[in-house]
Structure formats: structure tokens, C-alpha cells
Amino acid sequence: MTNLVERTLGRLNEQKPGRLSMPGEQSYAAATAIWAKPFALAPRAIFSCQTAEDVQAAIHAAGECDLALSVRGGGHDWAGRALCDGLVINLAGMNTVVVSADRRSARISGGARASDVVAVTDPLGIAAVTGSCGGVGMVGLTLGGGYGPLIGRFGLALDNLIAADVVLADGRYVTATRDINEDLFWALRGGGGNFGVVTTIQQRLHDLPSICSGMLVFPFAEAQSVLERCAELAASAPDELTVQLGFVVGSNGTPSVLVVPTWSGLPHDAERQLARFFSLGTPMAGTLDVMPYGGGLAIFDPHVIYGQRVIMETVWLPALDSGCIDALTQAIETAVSPGCAIFTHEFKGAASRVPEISTAFGLRRDHLLVEILASFVDQSNLIDEQKHRQWVQTTLMALSISALPGGYPNLLADGNPIRATQSYGRNAPRLIEVKRQYDPDNVFSATPLPK
Ligand SMILES: Cc1cc2nc3c(=O)[nH]c(=O)nc-3n(C[C@H](O)[C@H](O)[C@H](O)COP(=O)(O)OP(=O)(O)OC[C@H]3O[C@@H](n4cnc5c(N)ncnc54)[C@H](O)[C@@H]3O)c2cc1C
């Protein structure tokens, strides 16, 4: 077996010189340096792709010697699922972004990050729907959903997908659109990286010369009232206004509440819409400023720490009611380290108006996505791991009392098919069927799918 793997990888190396890297090499180290430090996982080899043919060659080679495959895009999956113990298809070098002549869409390569996109679109006064952080892979984000500051106005990132070029498990290279390979196109919009390697997406663009956004930091003592007022404000906010919340613990153990409103409507309305956020409480720090769309993707950067062990859970809340506010504040009061944090994303407006069955994404009603995050440094310290895991689970249980079934597929943990099934709601049976059709041997097992 080992000989077969070695021979096959050797052939791949001859066929595509300079693409394959092995443990100990610099390009191997760069490709495996992802956001979350995976638990004791060492890929057999990394294959850095530049073209769809490279991807085909990697899939073919892995199939020949029965090696597990994984796909590395922006490297921001919380569970480190970009890596596996077999062959990693590394798309990091495929990061071009080409805007169409009419500026209505862009072709985005499979490994481009949101920061690669805004580097091209910001100077043109246009924007794609991204998540909130520049480092996240555009395709990984889009395939699972894509909650971001423009969700109320333009929907999820996946609602803006026009076409995808995909290398399938059997090596075929196909395009999926509303009219071509419709089932695949439907499944790609929510089913994650479970159907093939997406080498390029064509994504709708929107006129957006600027936004107004920033982060306001409130003392934790005011958390209850800040959250209550924020919930009131958000309930009556227009589609152009989204609000993200963060609950973080400083290195000295002091918790605080972060409020990040983003206004993407007419610039002259920004002040009227956003002034109210300063009176949510007594801000300790922060400003709200006019900026290019890409400027907003750096707001959370101080809280995005690379290379740590991460445990994460997700819930969907129907609203930020008093029970949830109590659960959130209590969770932060009982945080076990400064690595404990909770972030929320709104789902509203344009995203909620999309009919549930028109994409695989399973929940089309206003809600709040909650990310429960525990990160820590020492991976050999099991006690540390256990106490963070316990905190995440306790917080999840407390929030689950009023949660909707399922959770954001991009953030689900492996090994819970019931939860995955709930996440896709009535789209689950069709998703299972499309998986059978396009990847019957489960070559691409990324985020969990319904069973
Ligand atoms: C700091 C941080 C901030 C985040 N912010 C947001 C946010 O604002 N909104 C939101 O909705 N989500 C957010 N996420 C979650 C994010 O959308 C998912 O983790 C997503 O999977 C990351 O994609 P990636 O390409 O960066 O990750 P990777 O780890 O490279 O890939 C994760 C998986 O995605 C699939 N994949 C990636 N690229 C391809 C491709 N080209 N073809 C086929 N499959 C592919 C593969 O299955 C892969 O295993 C955030 C995550 C982090 C860590």
C-alpha cells in the first residue's frame, strides 16, 4: 500500500512538476498553516493547484492509490477540515478575481479570499457579498452559506452565485448554473464542499461605493441593557442595516460587549441610522466611519487569532429575547479563558425572502446565527481542552432552549447527522439524492450532510 502511494505520488510529481510538497518542505508548512490548528493531523502530501487540470490530476492520483482527499481554500474552517491525512488539494494559489466588463459579476478562483475580492472591487465602487472577515475563502464561505454585512440587502453569498465550475469525484469538469446541471447548482448553494472541487465561481456584484461601519465596545456591566436596546433597534432596522454582536474576554479576564453595525444604504442616511448605537450604553471605545466595503472586513481582525486549537458550536436563534440575553451574559460570566467568545450574525431581509426550496440552504426566515468559540494554545494539555469543550457545550445547551433546529452548516461539528439533517430541513432528501448522483463514494466529505 505504502509503495503504491509512493509510486502514484511520484508519478503525479513527474506529471506536474513543482506542485507536490512533502512534510518538512516550506510550501507544505505554508499550506498546512491554517486558521485553526488541527489535532495531530499530518497530510501525506500537499498538491498546490493552478488549473482545473491540476485538480483533475490530484483527484485521479488519490483515487488510484485510495488516498483520502481534502480541499484547502482560504483555510478558515474551524475544525481544520481543509486538511486530511491523505492528499490535500491546495487552492491557495488560485486566487484571481476578474470583474466582467459590465461590472455586474466577477469570476473568482477557488482559493480566493474575501480580501482578494475587495482588493479588486473596492477601487471600482462595487462589492460582492462576503462574510465579515477578509481572510475567509470566498468559495468555502459561499458553498455553505455566507452570512455577512450585506445579508439584509443582497442575501447570503450563495444567493449571489451565478455559476460554478466544478471538478467532480469522477474527474469530469462541469459547469453548474440555473440551466446547466441544475441539481448540482442547487446543491452547491448550501451543501458545502461535498460535491466536488469548485475551481471558479461567478458571483453577482453590486454598486456600493462605501459603507458606514465600525466597532463600539461597551462595558460588560451594561450587557443586559445594551443587548435589549440593540434587539429593539435591530427589529425595526431596514434591510441596509445589519448588526453583529460580539462577547469577548480581554487578556486580563475582563469581558466586554462589541456592537458592529453596518450601514450599506444611501450615504446621507448613515448618520441618522447609526447615531442611535452610541446611546445603547456608555461606549468605552470605538467609532463608526465611512469606508470602502473592504474596510469593514478588517474590523474583527484583532479578534481573529491564527494557529490555535479551536472548539466551536453554532445555534440559530429565532430572536434575541430575554432568555437568550440571559444565556449569553451568563456564558461570558463563566468563560474559562480569554479564548472564549461568542459572535452573532443576522439573517434578514433579502436572505429571508428567498424561497426555502430554491437553494439547498435550509433556513429561510429571520434569525440570529450564534457562533460559540473557544480557542486555546496548548494542544497537549487535555485538561485545558476539556474545560473549553465543557464551556462550549454548556453554552450550547443554555442557548438550545430557545434555538431553532439545526445550525449553520459551515460551522457544524462532524459526527452529528441528526443535527445536519435538521439544518437542511425539507431540503435534506434532495441533498442526499444529489450527493448520491455526483459523489456516490463520498470522495468529498467536508462539512456534515444529512444521512
Ligand atoms: C475567523 C472566521 C470568520 C468567519 N466569518 C464568517 C462570516 O462572516 N460569515 C460566514 O458565513 N462564515 C464565516 N466563517 C465560516 C466560514 O464561512 C467557513 O469556515 C468556510 O468553510 C471557510 O472557507 P475557507 O475556504 O476559508 O476554508 P477551508 O478550511 O479552506 O475550507 C473549508 C472547506 O470548504 C470547502 N471548500 C473550500 N474551498 C472549496 C472549493 N474551492 N471547492 C470545493 N470545496 C471547497 C472544503 O470542503 C473545505 O474542507 C468564518 C470562519 C472564521 C474562522
Per-residue pLDDT tens digits for 106-136: 999 999 999 999 999 999 999 999 999 999 9
pLDDT tens, 324-382? 999 999 999 999 999 999 999 999 999 999 999 999 999 999 999 999 999 998 667 77
| Strand-pair partners of 166 | 174, 198
Share above pLDDT 90 across residues of the chain, in percent, rounded to a whole number: 91
CA of 270 to the centre of ligand 1 (A): 31
Q: Which protein residue has the closest C-alpha to ligand 1 atom 52?
A: 76
Alpha carbon distances (Å) from 93 to 111, 290, 334, 371? 7, 32, 42, 29
Please report the beta strands in 221-339, taking only residues with DSSP state E, as ranges in sequence order: 241-249, 255-263, 289-291, 309-317
Is residue 296 lining ligand 1, measured as CB closer than 6 Å? no
Is residue 76 lining ligand 1, measured as CB closer than 6 Å? yes
Q: Cell 445547551, residue?
A: 397
Q: Cell 462589541, residue?
A: 258
Q: How many CA atoms lie within 13 A of 15 on its CB side?
A: 16
CA of 139 to the centre of ligand 1 (A): 7
- Nearest CA to 76 out of 35, 37, 109 is that of 35
Q: Which protein residue has the closest C-alpha to ligand 1 atom 46?
A: 193
Ligand 1 nearest-atom number relative to CA 304: 1
In this prediction, residue 37 carries a pLDDT of 82
Please report the beta strands in 170-264, taking only residues with DSSP state E, as ranges in sequence order: 173-177, 197-204, 206-207, 211-213, 216-219, 241-249, 255-263
CA of 136 to the centre of ligand 1 (A): 6
Please answer whether residues 121 and 139 qualify as being in contact, where contact means their C-beta atoms are separated by less than 8 angstroms.
Answer: no
Cell of 23: 512534510
Instruction: State the amino acid at position 43 in one-letter form.
Output: P
CA of 137 to the centre of ligand 1 (A): 5
Q: Cell 444521512, residue?
A: 451
39's CB contacts (< 8 A; 6+ apart) are 80, 309, 379
Is residue 132 lining ligand 1, measured as CB closer than 6 Å? yes
20-21: strand order across its sheet: 20-21, 45-48, 87-90, 69-72
Which residues of the chain are modeled with pLDDT < 50? Answer: none
